[in-house]
Structure 1
Amino acid sequence: MSRTEQPSRRTVLTAAVAAAAGVGGADPATAGTLTAAGDRDPDPVRRVDQHTWTTYADWCAGTAHGTRAVAGARPGIVIGTAAGTLDHTDPHTGRTATWEYATWTSPVHRPAVPATEAIASWNAHTPPGTWIQVELQGSYPDGTATPWYVMGRWAAGDTDIRRTSVDGQGDGRSTVWTDTLAIDDPASGLRLVSCRLRLTLYRRPGQETTPTVWRLFLMGSDVPDRFTVPASTPGPARELRVPRYSQEIHKGQYPEYDNGGEAWCSPTSSQMVIEYWGGRLTEEQLSWVDPAFADPQVCHAARRSYDHQYGGCGNWPFNAAYAATFEGVQGVVTRLGSLRDLETLIAAGIPAVTSQSFLDEELTGAGYGTSGHLMAVIGFTSDGDVIANDPASPSDHAVRRVYRRREFENIWLRTKRYDASGRVRSGTGGVCYLYFPAHPTQGQREALAAVGVR
């Protein structure tokens, strides 16, 4: 979390989108109908398309070059016979190594909602000596396609490669902003009308071990630009017993990972929910952490979610992938449409990690403003207010907060906002991490399906 209004890649992204849409002088023919408050028509209909590859049939339906599908309790793809070798130079270490590789390409997915943005997330096992690359290619209405954009080079550890996003990717019509592929000028009407994903699995030559990918998830969205969102009617009250961890007690620890704990809202929130689902780290896994530090698992989460190009722990898919390194846990990055979606999940016992930006006065009781912050939503009061484990707290005990429903709903679901200087900045439009069991109960499957996740 940043406590000041400093530009981030999400601020830059949404400011560019707002400028393209004509904020401060929109053409009504292209920018859509604005209300007197400057908002677009607040249509509550979900403008999100979600698609999953996770079953044996899903993996068999793709195009394989050296990979093979494996069945079992958790189907996936692995390297069968490598398709070739290549030399890869890690830009963050300068080391060049030779790797065997194999690829899997998904069938083309045509979303029900042509997208202005797309985010891929994945769940994988990468034993030492292995890693994966995830790419996304979209197509435009005129039949042309984007390049194959790299959405992440990822390994659970950091000894073989440095986990990284890739900057500088664009074709003049769309751009990758760390973990999000975005149309440059949504007001033009340009959209992604189809997408496909490609996985490349790597291992050291002659090695028998292989990466395994269990889940691949694609979220495409066309969320209307708006400063405010419609108010939802409160649903049932429930609070989940989620562990509480403060990022603030780690201030100054391991500054090589995004300047230390004060910026660790994302991994801290992830770790809280991971442990809610029973994920635990061993003494051996935590042996690298200074024994004088409290909650060493938070330090571990920061290290294992750190994006060496972005220079932070807030890469959304990297957090979901970290969560899924724990046995029995799955994770995706998606967008939800309202607090009622969160209430559906909470009622089924599923907490969520939400992403939001706000000024100090926009969230009563927070005591800070931020250009980007993650917290775990763990329940709702009888009045419908949001119960959150907010890691931007001075101690573990102080992490549990109750935030006013209307305020929280707006700062989380809006796509545009004003910073302290009156400039248009970003809102995430309902982005969240969902972590849930590898084998959900029937009630959990129904709740996930109700918000578009299978």
Structure 2
Amino acid sequence: MTAGPHNPLTGPHDPVTGPPTSTTGPHNRRAVLAALAAVAAASAVASTGPASATPTPSRRPAVPFKAPDTAVDNHFWTTYTDWRSGSATGTRAVAGRRPGLVIAVPAGTADYTDPHTGTSAAWEYATWTSPVHRSAVPATEVIASWNADTPAGTWIQIELLGRYSDGTDTPWYVMGRWAAGDQDIRRTSVDDQSDGKSSIWTDTFSVDDAASGLRLTHYRLRLTLHRKPGTRLTPTVWRVGAMASDIPDRFTVPASTPGEGRGHELAVPRYSQNLHAGQYPEYDNGGEAWCSPTSSQMIIEYWGRKPTAEQLAWVKPGLPDPQVCHAARYTFDYQYEGCGNWPFNAAYAATYRDMSSTVTRLGSLTDVETLVRAGIPVITSQSFLKEELTGAGYGTSGHLMTVIGFTEGGDVIANDPASKDDDAVRRVYARAEWEQIWLRTKRYDASGNVRGGTGGVCYLYWPTTPTAAQHGVLRSLGLV
């Protein structure tokens, strides 16, 4: 299917463009995404047409680090008023305790061929396109995230269209095709999306050459809700939005001064990914690669949610912590063949009763201390050599851990899933070392080559009815 001509900020569209035109083999996705700060992609076409070239990495020169006044813009649509804004074709806003967006009268029917199963099927669809959001931060990267319910027989697609600082527009980029389950479609990112100025790296929009000065100044998101024809089924989307950022290149980051989080520790369950080594290799080769879903499951259970016995019935009896296997299966991205897709993990967390979630960036451990003091643990993404994090005992090109507290001296108390067993998960890491490996955007690997860092990426999960203190902290970060 091919979209007809349209004004990219206001016009009509074809809601399903079909499967990706090419696929890549297995790769270390966290290493690829961490390298975004150090690479630029060469020419390729947008996702709505056949790919003519695969983006080719090239290095981008480092610049001295100077902390910006504002480096991150968070914006989300969540309220009944929000859902009534923008442009709706076949969708309607639903009021109530948790406002959302549902299918009212389908706009049409479209075919979708799942690239991971080869199955073709017709789906009724309806769409909602957000108002244009002008980012407070002209951005080099944008990561979308969403919270939704997708009953069996339904799924959603999330797309982004942006405007560059030179006045031109991106194509509509697919940021994810997602379902909570895996019986209807395989949840997937889409490779080979580029317009020669920006590219999509699994779940991250990235300007190809940030040193050129080009930035994304505006964007809008489009939701396409799908259901089996002839049914009254509908997905419900409660939250959609994005984190836009412009984090400067930096090899080093000044350590923050310990503050209000000192001496506070949250009672977060401890799960080791290493207990699952070799289990369910179809999901990213088993537990040794499950740092992200293992971290997610720890925080979900901290908030008092967990899978039911019925939901866990598929797991082989006798395996330890079967809910970790469950999290791996239901965060798995079939395109990049891994469980570390950031928005997919956040979306998984929000499938639990009355849970909200997002992917964002924080500026320092001071922000983390404020969250922890309010009772909100933080899942952080980092990469490091063995000698860069004292006591870890390993190095990694990309790893997720959970900050659950701080010592009296301000060092980080983390639940590290890369531990031999559950009892060993709680670790204490030096504050300055932790802050460096989490916030930097550039680093050297064991061979002395320049690689990327995540620049403060984290997941946050919280109840839909947080305490006043929690709401205040989240609001201060632009998340509610």
Instruction: Give the TM-score normalised by structure 1.
Output: 0.94
Q: Is the 8 A contact 2:375 2:470 kept in 1?
A: yes
Q: Match for 1:279: what amino acid?
A: R
Aligned to 1:30: none
Aligned to 1:345: 371
Aligned to 1:15: 38
Pick the aligned partner of 2:269 from 243, 247, 250: 243
State the Cα distance separating 1:84 from its structure 2 match: 0.3
Pick the aligned partner of 2:256 from 232, 244, 247: 232
Aligned to 1:305: 331
1:366 matched to 2:392: yes
1:216 matched to 2:251: no
Q: How far apart in 2 are the matches of 1:204 and 1:144? A: 37
Q: How far apart in 2 are the matches of 1:308 and 1:344? A: 36
Pick the aligned partner of 1:135 from 153, 159, 167: 159
Q: Is the 8 A contact 2:130 2:222 kept in 1?
A: yes
SS at match of 1:255: coil
Pick the aligned partner of 2:444 from 400, 414, 418: 418
Q: Is the 8 A contact 2:156 2:224 kept in 1?
A: yes
1:408 matched to 2:439: no
State the Cα distance separating 1:416 from its structure 2 match: 0.5
Aligned to 1:91: 115
Q: How far apart in 1 are the matches of 2:370 and 2:31? A: 31
State the Cα distance separating 1:209 from its structure 2 match: 1.4
Q: Match for 2:437: what amino acid?
A: I
Aligned to 1:256: 282
Aligned to 1:37: none
Q: Is the 8 A contact 2:37 2:249 kept in 1?
A: no
Residue deviations 1:185-214 (CA, integer Å, cap 9, x gap): 000000001010000000000111100000
State the Cα distance separating 1:59 from its structure 2 match: 0.6
| 1:136-151 to 2 correspondences below 5 Å | 136-151=160-175
Residue deviations 1:147-172 (CA, integer Å, cap 9, x gap): 00000000000000001000000000
| 1:323-334 to 2 correspondences below 5 Å | 323-334=349-360
| 1:68-87 to 2 correspondences below 5 Å | 68-87=92-111
Given the superposition, is the C-alpha separation of residues 202 and 85 from structure 1 closer, same or farther in structure 2, using an over 3 Å criterion?
same
Q: How far apart in 1 are the matches of 2:291 and 2:479? A: 24
Q: Is the 8 A contact 2:166 2:214 kept in 1?
A: no
Aligned to 1:27: none
Q: How far apart in 2 are the matches of 1:300 and 1:292? A: 14
Q: Is the 8 A contact 1:45 1:337 kept in 2?
A: no
Aligned to 2:133: 109
SS at match of 2:436: helix
State the Cα distance separating 1:427 from its structure 2 match: 0.4
Q: Is the 8 A contact 1:240 1:379 kept in 2?
A: yes
Aligned to 1:318: 344
Given the superposition, is the C-alpha separation of residues 6 and 348 from structure 1 closer, same or farther in structure 2, using an over 3 Å criterion?
closer
Q: Is the 8 A contact 1:5 1:370 kept in 2?
A: no
State the Cα distance separating 1:11 from its structure 2 match: 4.0
Q: How far apart in 1 are the matches of 2:121 and 2:29? A: 37
Given the superposition, is the C-alpha separation of residues 7 and 345 from structure 1 closer, same or farther in structure 2, using an over 3 Å criterion?
closer
Q: How far apart in 1 are the matches of 2:68 and 2:312? A: 44
Pick the aligned partner of 1:157 from 155, 159, 181: 181
Q: Is the 8 A contact 1:9 1:178 kept in 2?
A: no
Aligned to 2:44: none
Gap regions ≥5 residues in structure 1 = 24-33, 35-39
Aligned to 2:46: none
State the Cα distance separating 1:10 from its structure 2 match: 1.2
State the Cα distance separating 1:48 from its structure 2 match: 0.3
1:197 matched to 2:236: no
Q: Percent identity?
A: 69
Aligned to 2:13: none
SS at match of 2:421: coil
State the Cα distance separating 1:389 from its structure 2 match: 0.3
Q: Is the 8 A contact 1:46 1:337 kept in 2?
A: no
State the Cα distance separating 1:45 from its structure 2 match: 3.2
Pick the aligned partner of 2:423 from 384, 397, 402: 397
SS at match of 1:372: strand
Instruction: Give the TM-score normalised by structure 2.
Output: 0.89
Q: How far apart in 1 are the matches of 2:446 and 2:181? A: 39
SS at match of 1:101: strand
State the Cα distance separating 1:139 from its structure 2 match: 0.5
